[in-house]
Structure 1
Amino acid sequence: MIITYASVFVDDQQKALDFYTEKLGFQLKVDVPAGPYRWLTVVSPEAPDGVQLLLEPSEHPAVHPFKEALMTDGIPFNSFGVEDVQAEYDRLTALGVRFLQEPTPMGPVTAAVLDDTCGNLIMIAEMTDPVASGK
Structure 2
Amino acid sequence: MTQGINVVGLYVRDQDEALAFYVEHLGFRVHTDVRNGDYRWLTVQHPEQPSFQLGLFKPGPPVHDAATAQTLCEVVAKGAMPPLVLVVDDCRAAYERLSGNGVEFTQEPIDRYGALDAGFRDPSGNGWKMIEARPRP
Q: Could you tell me the TM-score, scaled by structure 2's length?
A: 0.81
The Cα offsets for residues 43-101 of structure 1, whole Å up to 9 and x where unpaired, read as 111122x11000011334141343245x2x6x653111111111111011112211000
2:124 maps to 118
Instruction: Report the Cα distance in structure 2 between the residues aligned to 1:120 and 1:45, rounded to whole angstroms.
Output: 20
Choose 1 or 2 for highest CA Rg. Answer: 2
Q: Would the aligned equivalents of 2:77 and 2:124 in 1 still touch at CA under 8 Å?
A: no
Matching residue within 67, 89, 92 for 1:86: 92
Q: Number of matched residues?
A: 127
What aligned pairs does 1:123-134 form with structure 2 within 5 A after superposition? 123-128=129-134, 130=135
The Cα offsets for residues 6-57 of structure 1, whole Å up to 9 and x where unpaired, read as 1111110011001000000000000100331310001111122x11000011
Q: Would the aligned equivalents of 1:33 and 1:39 in 2 still touch at CA under 8 Å?
A: yes
Taking every aligned residue pair, what percent have the same amino acid on both sides?
37
Instruction: Report the Cα distance in structure 1 between the residues aligned to 2:26 and 2:5, rounded to whole angstroms.
Output: 21
Q: Would the aligned equivalents of 2:13 and 2:73 in 1 still touch at CA under 8 Å?
A: no
Amino acid aligned to 2:57: E
Matching residue within 37, 40, 43 for 2:42: 40
Distance 1:38 1:104, change over 3 A: same
Instruction: Report the Cα distance in structure 1 between the residues aligned to 2:124 and 2:73, rounded to whole angstroms.
Output: 12
Q: Would the aligned equivalents of 1:13 and 1:56 in 2 still touch at CA under 8 Å?
A: yes
Structure 1: state its 5+ residue gaps. none
Structure 2: state its 5+ residue gaps. none
